[in-house]
Structure 1
């Protein structure tokens, strides 16, 4: 009995696997990862800077884009330090408290990202279908309340699982995490406590959020399409639909990686460890990398402001 108790502790240090089988290539892998992280940080910071400094972009749609850029920026920062520390050979260890904190930020920010995307899509419905009342429906006060509500919902719903993780016991003989940063399901595999609540609650949460958000986004697009088709002018129809293209791309760039990572974590134990790691990196790098590109390409205001800003810098 004493040996069994000695092998269980609720305050432990975990070892992050990193990229198994590619240890010899870490110096080379650090180059593209550093470039990707630099692009994520600079791209989202640039979008925030342009929206902040350009008076013509102090509009409702750009406020939502600023929320999305800020969320993407935080998502990148929540994992960058551990991934680069592994690739640069600095450290692969992380304490339980630090691991749980990272899980809180990683999963909370994922929920925030989905909430902001839903808001961005729903914002297009009154803008296209009821443009005369658009500014009266979405006031600055209401936008702030929406932003705070998204943050509150995203972090409060994960509190039960976070509390359980803190009080679980973990085997000291198996304390190797299969990713380059902490994920909820990854930490559950190392717990020797009853994890049924966390497992079912997390799965139900992912399904409910994905299903609810997907249904609401689909309904919004159907309503927008119905209103657009009622417009007599074909030119106006195309112009209205083009405003939704970037939102559709942003939605797919988030939800396809989320569904892929969920399936791999729960049903892909037979897959190579590298597949698990790459799926995790894909989820927390791809949306923050692509969103600034998507909205900069589709938004004439942001694109022209960035071009003008670089022109002034070169002169």
Structure 2
């Protein structure tokens, strides 16, 4: 409903325009993005199949890896089909409620991925620093509780973003979202109402989840490195360190992309908008692409199983 002051009251449809400034080449940008998505899907589904079919991989490290694979599949699928619809078929319209659902799913699974990375770091800490107690600490019951707890933490913390948008933001200056997917601040900035509470809560969620997780991941690895360097034998130190290399790479890849995207959005006022959008897309697409590759290359058990499948 168009109001007298030119604002729109509770719009039922929004428009996702894709990458502003690169509209002429969006159809070509969709090709590498689609390729990344296909490789990510194949890699993660293969990873899940290997972990499920090999009883020797039914250990905490690999079960957390399976959780990460499921999260990556869902996260990629939340954005890519709609994004390619915008790029290739000009399907820009999205219902307001569908946009909010996409926003909630994206931010929930981003938060869940961060939590799984924390759980993996704690698993490595116990495996290296308390190896004799590892199997008694990380029981199947604890793994289930961790999975449920991380999912609830993400879903419950992100849910108020939906409520705050629906209940507080009634009037919108425009219905055009200059983005490829429905991101929290991209929606909030459309509103003509006071958005300070919405912005503050979005920052609270980001710092509560990412800040908490990265502090404890860093602490875990400091303790791991201290324990590794105290090992008397060089071979034992190398073996312990090798079990962490893939995890460290994945942690750095996820959090560096997250913080680079976050600070570019908040403080990169002189950076063209299309750079912001591309960084956001890469932040969501690169981890699902690289994670199965990294673990496939660095984890001997998974690598051997892949080789066995290819040559037998």
Question: Do the two structures share a fold, i.e. TM-score over 0.5?
Answer: yes
Q: Offset at 1:73?
A: 0.7
SS at the partner of 2:89?
Answer: coil
Separation in 2 of the partners of 1:242 and 1:115? 22
Stretches of structure 1 lacking an aligned partner (at least 5 in a row): none
Paired position in structure 1 for 2:39: 39
2:126 matched residue in structure 1: 126
Q: Deviations over 1:135-174 (max 9, x none)?
A: 1111101100000000000110112111111232242x52
* Matched residue, 1:11: 11
Do the aligned partners of 1:179 and 1:276 also contact (CA within 8 Å) in 2?
no
In 2, the alpha carbon distance for the partners of 1:267 and 1:209 equals: 21
Matches within 5 A, 1:211-290: 211-290=211-290
Q: Displacement, 1:241?
A: 0.9
Q: How does 1:1-315 map to 2 (within 5 A)?
A: 3-4=3-4, 7-167=7-167, 168-171=169-172, 174-312=174-312
Judge conservation of contact 2:9–2:170 (CA < 8 Å) in 1. yes
- Can you list the C-alpha shifts for 1:201-254, whole angstroms capped at 9, x where unaligned? 111221232322121111111111121122110110011011111111111111
Residue 194 of structure 1 and its aligned partner are, at CA, apart by: 2.1
Shift of 1:7: 2.8
Q: Residues of 2 paired with 1:239 and 1:105: CA distance? A: 38
Write the distance in 1 (CA, Å) between the matches of 2:121 and 2:185: 30
Q: Which runs of 4+ in 1 moved over 6 A?
A: none
Local SS of the residue matching 2:4: helix
SS in 2 for 1:194: coil
Q: Measure, in 1, the Cα distance between the counterparts of 2:280 and 2:14.
A: 18
Measured after TM superposition, the shift of residue 19 of structure 1 is 2.1
Query: In 1, distance between residues paired with 2:139 and 2:124?
Result: 15
Deviation of the 1:77 alpha carbon: 0.6
For the residues of structure 1 that align with 2:257 and 2:94, how far apart are their CA atoms? Answer: 25
* Cα shift at 1:90: 4.2
Deviation readout 1:241-293 (Å, 9 max, x if unpaired): 11111111111111112112222222234421211210110110011111111
Matches of 1:232 and 1:268 in 2, distance apart? 48
1 CA distance for matches of 2:30 and 2:137? Answer: 47
Q: Which SS does the other structure have where 1:21 is aligned?
A: coil
Measured in 2, the distance between the counterparts of 1:55 and 1:307 equals 17
What is the CA-CA distance between 1:6 and the residue it aligns to? 6.8
TM-score, normalised via structure 1 length: 0.94
How many residues in Structure 1 have an aligned counterpart in Structure 2? 310
